A and B are shown apart, each in its own frame.
Chain A
């Protein structure tokens, strides 16, 4: 804690270092001391990755932006309780992940059903319905757009416990050990979930593989 205070003093408004040069831990220490510039810098660094991550989890842009903002609000309000046990990116992804999973569970309780989904036979939840498009293809960009849309839908259709792991690994590019920290799971469990998620995606995206 004393180290963080020292770091905050290094990048304070009157300090010699600029906020752009400070690392995440230093910025958070400065935020704890009331430095708004440090908070703005932290938001600038992570707003896009966090928004993208939450969007891949929910497939709802407006709600993803709201939850990304909620993530930063929680960072700000709990800066005094932050302990630098993990990297800051792990910390912020953990908050965003928890928010996204809570939102997914809330939607599940309220039976949000996608227009592209149909009830599964085993009653476990909706199964992504991706009927083949039989129309003639227009051009390469349309093909590309359709492929991306299919991948996004396939990710969204994954069960919640697999979705977070596969998005963090193959979309956000986090390592296994950091994913384990973000999701509070063992590394073996993370690897197992990612393997199952890839097998499911292979079936859903067989037309593109």
Chain B
């Protein structure tokens, strides 16, 4: 029985069907079951081989050329709309991320340039020594003092700058600054800490909306 199973497997897998070994052929000649199996498989193969073979229609080549032309034209127009929706979504997302990165990089570069320009401006002021107080308000009258809280984050800039320029520059500045204070008993420079946008230097000496007066600061120099 085991031999019959092996022989039937050989019969089924014979390629071509006639290429059976001598041992298998001798077994088939002696075994009724295997002979019946061989006949059955031979008939089945001939049945399958006898099915009518269909041929391509007469206009196969013409239609193929037309379809190929259409496909080639579509490819030349661009492959974008032939992509799957997920590929299109992925490409659009990648473009958006790239655009965001470019904008961020441009902003960062601009901020760096401004910082460098301000640093250079400070250095030029330090070399000339002619400085004045710059802040949201105009320069006070001689003899009066400028409240530091009102002056806000300021920098020392050349006196030749116009007021608008000074205001805008002072507002943008985020670096530490030095405020030139003039009081009854002399003058001094007060270094302000580095502040973020919106913060104020902590030079108030009394609560409420009253601005601190130079006398309240009690400068000691």
Interface assignment of A147: CB less than 8 Å from any CB of chain B: yes
Q: Bits for B41-66, please: 1 = Cβ < 8 Å to A, else 0.
A: 10111011111111111001101100
B49 touches A68 (CB 8 A): no
Interface size on B, residues (CB 8 A): 28
**A27-52 interface bits toward B, Cβ cutoff 8 Å, 1 = contact, 0 = none:** 00000000000001001100110011
Shortest distance between the CB of A106 and any CB in chain B (Å) = 16
CB distance from B104 to the nearest CB of A (A): 39
A198 interface residue per 8 A CB criterion: yes
**B68 CB–A CB distance under 8 Å:** yes
Complex: chain A residue closest to B12, CB-CB: A195
Binding stretch for chain B, among A86-94, A97-105, A126-134, A168-176: A168-176
Instruction: List, in ascending order, chain B residues with CB within 8 A of A82's CB.
Output: none
Q: Is A151 within 8 A of B50, CB to CB?
A: yes
**Residues in chain A near residue B75, CB distance under 8 A:** 77
Which residues in window 112-142 of B have CB below 8 A to A? none
Contact with B along A133-173 (1 / 0, CB 8 A): 00000000000000110011001000000000010001101
CB-based contact A51/B47 at 8 Å: no
B67 touches A73 (CB 8 A): yes
B: which residues have CB within 8 A of A? 9, 12-13, 15, 40-41, 43-45, 47-57, 60-61, 63-64, 67-68, 71, 75
A→B interface (CB under 8 Å)? 40, 43-44, 47-48, 51-52, 55-56, 61, 64-65, 68-70, 72-73, 76-77, 147-148, 151-152, 155, 166, 170-171, 173, 175-176, 191, 194-195, 198, 201-202, 205, 208-209
Chosen A-B contacts, 12 in total, with CB atoms closer than 8 Å, are A43-B60, A47-B56, A48-B53, A51-B60, A70-B67, A151-B47, A152-B51, A170-B45, A191-B13, A202-B44, A208-B43, A209-B47
